[in-house]
C-alpha cells in the first residue's frame, strides 16, 4: 500500500494574499485587561509621581537656587 500524503501548503499563500495580509491594528492606548496586576500597580505609582513639565521646571529652578546659595 502507498504512503498517504502528510502535508501540503498548496494554494494557501495565494488565498491569504487575495485580500492582503494585514498587520494587526495598533491602538493609541492598549488595553490593560489581563495584564500582570503587580506590573499595573507599579505603573500606576510611577505615573502618579511623574511631574508635569511646568512643575519639573519649578523644581529645577529651586534646586539651582539651593546650589547657588551653598556656594
Residue 32: partners with Cβ closer than 8 Å, 6 or more residues away: 40
Residue with cell 511631574: 51
How many independent structural domains does the chain possess?
1
Q: What is the pTM of this model?
A: 0.48
Query: CA torsion sign, 29 to 32 to 34 to 36?
Result: positive
Among residues of the chain, what percentage have pLDDT more than 70? Answer: 100
Q: How high is the pLDDT of residue 6?
A: 93
Domain that holds residue 43: 9-68
Q: Is residue 2 part of a domain?
A: no
Q: Is residue 1 part of a domain?
A: no
Q: Is residue 58 part of a domain?
A: yes
The three-point CA angle 26-31-32 to 5° equals 140
Q: Is residue 28 part of a domain?
A: yes
Q: What is the per-residue pLDDT across 38-65, written as a single tens digit (0 to 9) for each? A: 999 999 999 999 999 999 999 999 999 9
Q: Is residue 49 part of a domain?
A: yes
Amino acid at each position: 500500500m502507498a504512503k498517504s500524503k502528510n502535508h501540503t501548503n498548496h494554494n494557501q499563500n495565494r488565498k491569504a494574499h487575495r485580500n492582503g495580509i494585514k498587520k494587526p491594528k495598533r491602538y493609541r492606548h492598549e488595553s490593560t485587561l489581563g495584564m500582570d496586576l503587580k506590573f499595573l500597580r507599579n505603573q500606576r505609582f510611577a505615573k502618579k509621581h511623574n511631574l508635569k513639565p511646568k512643575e519639573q521646571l519649578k523644581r529645577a529652578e529651586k534646586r539651582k537656587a539651593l546650589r547657588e546659595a551653598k556656594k
